[in-house]
Amino acid sequence: MKILNKNRWKIILLDNIILLLILVIVLAMWIVKPVFMTLNNILNIFRSMSIRGVIAFGMTMVIISGQIDLSIGSIIGLSGVIVAWACKFLPAMLGIGVTASCVLGIAAVVVLSAAIGCFHGYMQHRFTMPSFIVTLATQLFLFGLAGIICGGFPISGVFPDWFIAVGFGRIGPIPIPVIILIIAFCIIMFIVNYTNIGRSIYAVGGNEEAARLSGINVLQTKIISFVAVALLSSLSGLMNSAQVLSATYSFGRGWEIDVISAVVIGGTSMGAGIGKVSGTFLGILFLGVMINGMTLLDISLYMQYVIRGILLFSSVLLSIFLPKLKQKLY
């Protein structure tokens, strides 16, 4: 007990290392660039991170369960393209308004995203295929499909005003994308922390065979995780198209890196079975603060990628050695 009390503050420090880094960066940027702490810039940080952030919560579920999903970028692009295509062509084809066409497009996106998630979970489990390969194949397929639908060119100027408000609107001073981010965070955190589904995800990620022997439906658990990240990816795609007022097949390309970085930086282990949604939120905030700070400091885009690559590599190393270091302190 004396040893535990002696090391208590060290353990607390290790448990909150990302939060402390965020505070240090914020303080340093406040001193160097006072504009960093203006309300407008703070809201801009949250809005810019919200589109990728909602996906990161779903990716947390997937990684905790012991899998990975590389198709999220293509789902983002395809989702926007489907809704834009519906808004542009369905009014003439079906004789309905743009609002009804948009709703039909969104419904199609939801059904398709859920089907993609089910496909990923079933194929990985039924044939014990690495989820890396399954989702990489889907990534390429969906990327090509989106390109076929839009003909390789952006579809713009077709969305109804209420849809555009999802990307640009505000409720009071708070941007709607930020509100969506907070709602997604609360829902996924509740599922992971307080439901049988969440407990099953941790069990399957920790030891799949032991989870199966204990009566957990492993296939169902994997499917739920993949469906969650696919649905959140499609939501992100719609938010992104609403912000830029257009849709094309290349939207979301490469976003997998930012999403996985946020999850890993937030403390979720690539070894599966370890992670917290609250940690992912801090990981998203950390990336948002870093990117915004580097932009204000006029750091070149290429150097930003170098720094982000170093951060991702360092966070993976941290996820490996941090549990071992904490174990020595107990």
Q: What is the pTM of this model?
A: 0.93
Residue 242 near residue 153, CB atoms below 8 Å: no
Residue whose pair of structure tokens reads 């990975």 in the numeric block: 68
The helix or strand, by DSSP H or E, that contains position 228, with its residue range, turns out to be helix 218-244
Residue 168 near residue 242, CB atoms below 8 Å: yes
In the chain, helix, strand, coil percent, each to 5? 80, 0, 20
Sorting pLDDT into bands at 50, 70 and 90, what band is 1? very low
End-to-end CA distance of the chain: 9
| Residue among 86, 329, 106 nearest 235 (CA) | 106
Interhelix angle for 255-265 vs 301-329, to 10°? 30
Say what the pLDDT of residue 330 is. 64
Say what the pLDDT of residue 16 is. 80
Across the strands, what pairs with 246? 156
Annotate 96-165 with three-state secondary structure: CCHHHHHHHHHHHHHHHHHHHHHHHHHHHHHCCCCHHHHHHHHHHHHHHHHHHHHCCCCEECCCCHHHHH
Phi then psi for 139, rounded to 5 degrees? -55, -50
| Residue among 212, 225, 197 nearest 118 (CA) | 225
Distance CA 11, CA 318 (A): 14
| Residue among 101, 51, 49 nearest 239 (CA) | 51
Q: What is the pLDDT of residues 208-252, one digit of tens each?
A: 999 999 999 999 999 999 999 999 999 999 999 999 999 999 999
Interhelix angle for 255-265 vs 72-94, to 10°? 130
- For residue 195, give the DSSP letter: S
Q: What is the pLDDT of residues 2-22, one digit of tens each?
A: 545 667 777 777 778 888 889
Say what the pLDDT of residue 6 is. 64
Distance CA 149, CA 68 (A): 27
| Residue among 84, 155, 71, 81 nearest 115 (CA) | 71
Taking 70 as the threshold, does the pLDDT of residue 156 lie above it? yes
Residue 118 near residue 125, CB atoms below 8 Å: no
Residue 243 near residue 141, CB atoms below 8 Å: no
Residues 6 or more apart in contact with residue 77 via CB below 8 angstroms: 142, 143, 146, 237, 247, 248, 249, 250, 251, 252, 253
Q: For the stretch 281-316, what's the b/e string if a residue is b when 16 or more beta carbons lie within 10 angstroms of its beta carbon?
A: bbbbbbbbbbbbbbeeeeeeeeeeeeebeebbeebb
Sorting pLDDT into bands at 50, 70 and 90, what band is 269? confident
Q: In this predicted structure, which of 45-59, 205-219, 315-329 has the lowest mean pLDDT?
A: 315-329
Q: Average the pLDDT over 186-211 and give the result.
A: 95
Longest dimension (CA), the chain: 76
Residue 246 in tokens: 């257009």
